Amino acid sequence: MLLDGTEQQDEIKWYEEKFGKVPLYDEVIGMIAKTSSERNGLLKEFFEPTEVDLEENRKLPTEAHRSIAELVKQGYIKVVVTTNFDRLLEQALDELNVQYQTVYHESDIEGMKPLAHADCTVLKIHGDYRDTRFKNITDELENYSEPLSAILNRIFDGYGLIVSGWSAEWDTALRDTIRSVKGRRYSWYWHSFSNEINEKAKELVSFRDANVIVDQEGADHFFKNLKENVENIAKVKQTNPENLLVKVNRLKKYLSNNKDIELTDLITEETKKVINIVKNMDANQNVDDEIVKQWVKEIEEVITPISVLMSIITYYKGSQYEQLIIETLERLTNLSEHNGRTTLLKLKEIPVQAVFYSVGIALVKNRDFRLLNNVLVKPQVRDRIYSTYDFTWYMSPRRGLHDAVRALESGQRYHLPFEVTFMQPFMERLFIENQLCLDRDEIISLYDIFEFLRATKHRYLGNDNYFSGCFGYRHDRRYLEKFLSEGAVQENWDVLQLFDNNKEKFFEALKLLTEDLNRQIYFSGNGLLTSYVGEEN
């Protein structure tokens, strides 16, 4: 809950020199305009921008207003109590399409939505400058009506409070209302622009046991910092291990009890979180290595919950939730945009890659190669530019993710692919920390088998845009060679479901993959081929 006001201006010095005392707003306005109607006409020109004002960005919402509006949109602020009678906060809320109700006269109170049910309530206790009934000078502010007093009492009793820019010097009724509320449900914070606050403010701070926060750079700086700090804390909480554990336990409960609706809602909710956060990342900023590292770190935090949840669903009941798995992948193909820096736009494709790998590795672990085949080919690309391309092409990191994550390389002599630089370490952490794999050896073998089958499937489909994967860069491929040699002697090898259950088609695809690997300078693919066909062939 927020209580805001006006910041002191340099003109105060002039007033003090002229009149020999500190200016009080109500005294000044009372000297200039005697009635509410006169004050309405006088103040109108100060609040409503002319064309020149708009061109010069004057009389528009400030950084403080926009930061408050962002916090309202994200659900952190529900009620704003303001002594101001301009409409700058409402304009900032309108810019973000935030739903809110404005209450600025006691006649509005009876028909308002309950505070708990409204997305946001802006309570303008002195009224709105466009309405001649607004309160502006001391004799008008000595008492509040019963309905206004009642709603203020509910707010001060039931909500935490941030006081910013209010001197408490001249608003008698507001001071008295605050002092009348004895409850201490939530903490209060008093933002001051200077190290010293006046005696009346000190009395209220002491009465409410409020925390004083000094920020001499003003409301814009204070609320911008507040918004950024809240968002950073929220990101940490989203990927906090305890928070993730709660989600995992919920998911396992839904799986055990066949609660399809609840499970679908959980995955949809997590998918929406990823989409909303990543889509709002500004891809038009200048790009350097630090920005790339920051983006990758933030994206990794955001995608961890959905990646873990999807791997669990896929491993335990993949076939039962096949449609949800495919639909989630499809939704994440709609993340990338096409207006901004190419490197940053490419980084927005990491979420779909991460979920794709989580699902694929879980299917290899469960040896569900029928569903793996469907996951490789069935999803439809929803990216508006690439919607006519097939999913296997769209999912190839060869389309630019290698270059996008080069900043993550630390002292490497050669540029490494996206799978080595980001995806393998991410999957290791994901599967081991969440007890989906016992140790690094197990996840590496599953990881490489998935990428090997994916690469072979690409050759089978005639795609030449996907080179190999991490296994193509490894000297030791014994687990892959064992995987192939065991498959070669099986009459109905389940892996062949990826190749129309046809050994010959698989063999031809494997030969194409071997030829591609042989074109690398250091790594040969011959060991994979001979493991399947035997030395004598």
Burial of 305 (0-12, 13-18, 19+ CB in 10 A): buried
* Percent of the chain at pLDDT exceeding 70: 82
Q: What is the mean pLDDT of the chain?
A: 83
Task: Quote the pLDDT of residue 347.
Answer: 87
pLDDT value at 89 more than 80: yes
Which residue in the block uniquely carries the two structure tokens 């391309």? 389
Least confident interval from 181-185, 251-255, 326-330, 520-524: 520-524
Task: Quote the pLDDT of residue 7.
Answer: 43
Average pLDDT score over residue span 305-331: 96
- Half-sphere CA count of 408, side-chain side, radius 13 A: 24
Domain map (residue ranges) of the chain: 2-226, 239-533
Alpha helix ranges (H) inside 216-288: 219-238, 241-256, 260-279
Task: Quote the pLDDT of residue 337.
Answer: 67
pLDDT higher for 495 or 477?
495
pLDDT value at 336 more than 80: no
Question: Model confidence over 169-182: pLDDT tens digits?
Answer: 877 888 989 988 87
pLDDT value at 214 more than 80: yes
Q: How confident is residue 402, by pLDDT bands cut at 50, 70 and 90?
A: low
Least confident interval from 170-179, 201-210, 458-467: 458-467
Q: How confident is residue 453, by pLDDT bands cut at 50, 70 and 90?
A: very high
Task: Quote the pLDDT of residue 312.
Answer: 96
Task: Quote the pLDDT of residue 98.
Answer: 92
pLDDT higher for 231 or 81?
81
Task: Quote the pLDDT of residue 28.
Answer: 66
Task: Quote the pLDDT of residue 269.
Answer: 93
Question: Model confidence over 491-518: pLDDT tens digits?
Answer: 899 999 999 999 999 999 999 998 888 8
pLDDT value at 423 more than 80: yes
Contacts of 281 (CB under 8 A, 6+ apart): 295, 298, 299, 344, 348
Kindly tell me the number of DSSP H helices and DSSP E strands found in the chain. 26, 7
pLDDT value at 42 more than 50: yes
* Percent of the chain at pLDDT exceeding 90: 36
Q: How confident is residue 145, by pLDDT bands cut at 50, 70 and 90?
A: confident
The CA distance from 104 to 87, in Å, is: 11
Task: Quote the pLDDT of residue 322.
Answer: 96
Task: Quote the pLDDT of residue 403.
Answer: 66
Contacts of 326 (CB under 8 A, 6+ apart): 374, 375, 378, 379
Task: Quote the pLDDT of residue 78.
Answer: 93
Average pLDDT score over residue span 72-100: 91
Task: Quote the pLDDT of residue 8.
Answer: 44
Least confident interval from 76-90, 96-110, 287-301, 388-402: 388-402
Alpha helix ranges (H) inside 257-368: 260-279, 289-317, 322-332, 342-347, 350-366
pLDDT value at 29 more than 70: no
DSSP three-state, residue 206: helix
Task: Quote the pLDDT of residue 450.
Answer: 95
Radius of gyration of the chain (CA): 31
pLDDT value at 9 more than 70: no
Which string of DSSP letters, residue by residue, matches 397-409?
Answer: GGGTHHHHTGGG-
Question: Model confidence over 354-372: pLDDT tens digits?
Answer: 999 999 999 999 999 999 9
pLDDT higher for 406 or 441?
441
Q: What is the pTM of this model?
A: 0.57
pLDDT higher for 74 or 524?
74
